[in-house]
Every structure is written in structure tokens, then in C-alpha cells.
Amino acid sequence: MRKLLNEELPRLTEEEFKAQPKMPLVLVLDNVRSHLNVGSVFRTADAFLIEGVYLCGITGQPPHRDIHKTALGATETVVWKYVYSTMEAVTELKMNGYRIVSIEQAEGSVMLNEFKPVAGERYAIVFGNEVEGVAQEVVNASDVVVEIPQYGTKHSLNIAVSVGIVVWDVTGKMRAIS
């Protein structure tokens, strides 16, 4: 088995990417501190044709060298918006017909492997701050709270890892029902 060269990969141009139908999914970053994590989220959003990213509160915004370092140009392809307050973003998204899903460890949460998106629904998935997680008021305003099952001692994942796990799982489920 031979590894493919970069030029052999079926890469879309920026114009082709923008013209592609997107997953009815928005990622919301609730006060994410690390610019490197933000860049990684952009790269994941590009890889899975996500509709857009909302950057809230203290979350860094492009252009920033650390975001660009991990985004590898995805800030040019993925639609993004800055909103001062995560609750403001959640309210706007709800008014626009999105179901709000917070990724958090909480009473009554649904394990990711048990979460079943509904065909035709649009989702906004909220990921929280590296230390505090998703703000309680955002959890309260969520339609569902989803938890990534974990079995070790830490019960904590880096936000970029969490985004990758959740987006891979949810988009796969959404493609299967569409």
C-alpha cells in the first residue's frame, strides 16, 4: 500500500468548497481560550463541510498567527461569525431554527453513541472553555446535552479533540439519514 501524495488528493478549490452543500451544522465556541484550538476547529469544520463557526466571548478570531498555524487556510473557506455572548448566539440560532446541543458532562446528558440526529433538523453544537466547559446558562438553554463517553481517570478531553470526535460522529449519522 502506497501513501498518496498531496497532489493526488481530491482537494476542492476555495470556490468549489464554497459552492458545495454544507452539513446543516454550526459549531459554537463558548469562550475558548486557545487560538490553536480555534484554528483546529476551523480545520475540522472545513474537513466535514460544516455550515459555519460562531466564535463567542473571549474566543480568538482570525486573523491571528496561532489560529492560522493550525487552521491551514480553513479560515478562508469556513464561514464564521463573532458574537459577544454565547447566549446571544444561542438565542439567534434558536430563532433561526437550530436545535442547540451542548457538549458537556451533565445530569441527564445523552451519551454521544446514543445521540440520534433527526433528518431535516439543523443543529448548533456548543463546545466550552478549556477549564470551565460550557456555561451553565447555555446548558440550561440547550435542547439536549450530549456527553462523550470516557472511561479513564481524567474525564476531560482537549476541545479540539472533542470537536473532532463529535463532528465525525454526528456528520456520519446525519449522512446516513439524509
Q: What are the tens digits of pLDDT across the range 61-111? A: 999 999 999 999 999 999 999 999 999 999 999 999 999 999 999 999 999
Dihedral, CA of residue 31, residue 44, residue 35 and residue 76, to nearest 10: -110
**Secondary structure (DSSP) of 109-142:** PEEGGG--PPTT-EEEEEE-BTTTBS-HHHHHH-
* The predicted structure's pLDDT at residue 111: 98
pLDDT band at 136 (very low <50, low <70, confident <90, very high): very high
Over residues 117-131, the pLDDT tens digits come to: 999 999 999 999 999
Domains of the chain: 20-149+156-177 (3.40.1280.10)
CA dihedral 153, 157, 158, 162 (to 10 degrees): 170
**pTM for the full predicted model:** 0.97
Write down the number of H helices and E strands in the chain.
6, 7
Query: SS3 of 57, please?
Result: coil
For the chain, the distance separating the N- and C-terminal CA atoms, rounded to the nearest angstrom, is 33
The whole-number pLDDT of residue 19 equals: 96
For residue 167, what pLDDT is reported? 98
Tens digits of residue pLDDT in 22-51: 999 999 999 999 999 999 999 999 999 999
Mean pLDDT, residues 9-16 taken together: 93
**Element housing 83 (H / E):** strand 80-83
Instruction: Look at residue 178 and tell me whether its pLDDT is greater than 90.
Output: no
Mean pLDDT, the chain, integer: 97
Please enumerate in sequence order all residues whose Cβ is within 8 A of that of 16, keeping only pairs 6 or more positions apart, or say none.
none
Q: Can you give the length of the chain in residues?
A: 178
